[in-house]
């Protein structure tokens, strides 16, 4: 059983915190990713722990607070395991159904269907922290802790609310264009104050977590997409990681993520420079990823550019067919998409399928996906992760 760990809900990825000290382009085509823009009726349930106004930070965090993931922590053990899978195996994953309005049970219904139909359960559960533009009514901390208790791996998606709209960074609306990374970096602005106040929201998690802030930052869909200079994106990311590590949080593995449609639309020769221009640096990133609907050989320049960064590579989102708008059921075959990964990208160590009508039970090939010889499911995960 993993020791309890305080989890920091970050303005951009409320999903992880450790109670232990130490370490821890062009806009995409409309159909480049899953539909993340569906209007919402309510926000993610959560328990707030706000701090005094006098503690809100307006300026960059001192470099002395930088604490990389050290050996001997649950997060470092998980990272080593994921890194060792390259060229050998792929972790199966399924996002919760964020579009369900039936609470935690509704979000987990498709995962239960996978188990009932195949006798296998995905190794990774995708959990949304702060995605108020979807009809997410589940509690991400409860879902995460339940999955960790089962011995699974959690991939948190942190989509911060727009700090310029006066709402909450955690659970706020992600659309809008008034906020920029420049205004967050400028001390004393409302955006900067809202941002760091959001980073101070705490939650309880019982193990290490993969956190994916600013998902698909290179798509001009949410407020953070393709609007700020790369240097400002890098600085906000570094400040965020440094700030959280400075609180002694060591159970977070930070996941850098691109939307495949936007990256793949660039000339091949430009992709490495584009990726490197936004990459926050090896001290601030543990895993690199892309989203693709569906994975294809067109992803090759982006996967190669991510691989060159020297970190484990995963598909943080994928689907059998184009994801925006959400497709009809049985419109594609997810096992075919997995076969594309296996054949072309042996360095990829995880494939996490999007939910709703893109989920494994709603498309073809579920059993073939879950029983592929390259796939590692929940029951096959080491007990010491």
Q: How far apart are CA 326 and CA 321, in angstroms?
A: 9
Measured CA to CA, the distance from residue 250 to residue 69 in angstroms comes to 6
CA angle 79, 15, 98 (to 5 degrees): 110
SS3 category, 157? strand
Q: What is the pLDDT of residue 131?
A: 54
What is the distance between the alpha carbons of residues 44 and 22, in angstroms, rounded to a whole number?
Answer: 30
Smallest CA-to-CA distance from 312 within 136, 87, 115 is with 87
Rounded Cα distance, 160 and 182, in Å: 16
Contact present, 319 and 366 (Cβ < 8 Å):
no
- Please report, to the nearest 10 degrees, the dihedral formed by the alpha carbons of residues 160, 166, 171, 173 taken in order: -70
pLDDT value at 35 more than 90:
no
* Contacts of residue 6, Cβ cutoff 8 Å, sequence gap at least 6: 17, 18, 19, 202, 203, 204, 205, 249
Q: What is the DSSP letter of 378?
A: G
* Predicted local confidence at residue 200, as pLDDT: 62
Question: pTM of whole model > 0.85?
Answer: no
Radius of gyration of the chain (CA): 19
- Residue 201 bridge partners (DSSP): 9
pLDDT one-digit tens code per residue, 196-241: 776 665 345 778 999 999 999 888 777 887 667 899 999 989 998 9
- Flag the least confident range among 103-117, 190-204, 299-313: 190-204
Please tell me the distance from the alpha carbon of residue 24 to that of residue 349, in angstroms, as a whole number. Answer: 22
Beta strand pairing status for 5-10 and 13-16?
A: antiparallel
Q: Note the pLDDT of residue 327.
A: 94
Rounded to whole angstroms, the Cα distance separating 161 from 139 reads 17
The model's confidence at residue 141, banded by pLDDT at 50, 70 and 90, is confident
Give residue-wise pLDDT tens across range 151-182. Answer: 999 999 888 777 777 656 655 667 666 677 88
Q: Which domains does the chain have, with CATH numbers?
A: 5-45+69-380 (3.20.20.80)
CA 196 to chain centre: 20
Question: Where in the chain does DSSP place strands (E)?
Answer: 5-10, 13-16, 90-95, 124-129, 153-158, 201-205, 209-213, 252-259, 287-292, 313-318, 348-353, 375-376
Asked whether the beta carbons of 330 and 306 are under 8 A apart, the reply is no
Name the strands in the sheet holding 5-10, side by side, starting at the edge strand that comes first in the sequence: 13-16, 5-10, 201-205
């Amino acid at each position: 059983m993993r020791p309890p760990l305080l989890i920091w809900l970050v303005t951009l990825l409320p999903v992880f915190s450790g109670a232990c000290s130490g370490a821890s382009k062009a806009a995409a085509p409309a159909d480049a990713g899953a539909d993340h823009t569906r209007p919402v009726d309510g926000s993610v349930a959560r328990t707030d722990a706000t701090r005094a106004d006098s503690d809100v930070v307006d300026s960059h965090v001192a470099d002395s607070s930088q604490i990389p993931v050290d050996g001997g922590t649950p997060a470092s053990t998980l990272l080593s395991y994921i890194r060792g899978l390259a060229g050998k195996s792929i972790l199966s994953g399924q996002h919760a159904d964020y579009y369900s309005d039936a609470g935690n049970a509704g979000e987990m219904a498709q995962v239960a269907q996978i188990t009932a139909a195949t006798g296998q359960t995905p190794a990774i559960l995708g959990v949304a922290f702060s995605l108020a533009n979807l009809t997410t009514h589940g509690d991400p901390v409860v879902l995460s802790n339940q999955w960790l208790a089962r011995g699974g791996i959690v991939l948190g998606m942190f989509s911060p609310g727009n700090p310029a709209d006066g709402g909450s960074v955690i659970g706020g609306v992600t659309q809008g264009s008034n906020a920029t990374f420049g205004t967050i970096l400028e001390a004393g602005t409302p955006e900067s104050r809202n941002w760091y106040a959001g980073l101070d929201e705490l939650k309880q998690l019982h193990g290490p977590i993969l956190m994916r802030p600013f998902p698909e930052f290179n798509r001009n869909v949410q407020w953070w997409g393709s609007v700020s200079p790369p240097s400002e994106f890098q600085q906000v990311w570094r400040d965020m990681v440094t700030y959280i590590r400075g609180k002694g949080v060591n159970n977070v593995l930070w996941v850098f993520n691109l939307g495949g449609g936007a990256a793949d639309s660039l000339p091949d020769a430009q992709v490495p420079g584009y990726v490197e221009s936004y990459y926050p640096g090896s001290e601030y990133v543990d895993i690199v990823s892309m989203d693709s609907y569906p994975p294809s050989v067109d992803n090759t320049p982006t996967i190669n550019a991510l691989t060159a960064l020297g970190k484990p590579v995963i598909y943080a989102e994928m689907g059998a067919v184009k994801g925006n708008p959400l497709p009809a059921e049985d419109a594609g075959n997810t096992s075919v998409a997995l076969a594309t990964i296996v054949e072309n990208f042996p360095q990829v160590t995880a494939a996490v399928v999007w939910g709703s009508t893109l989920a494994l039970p709603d498309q073809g090939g579920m059993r073939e996906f879950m029983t592929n010889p390259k796939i590692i499911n929940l029951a096959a995960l080491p007990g010491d992760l």
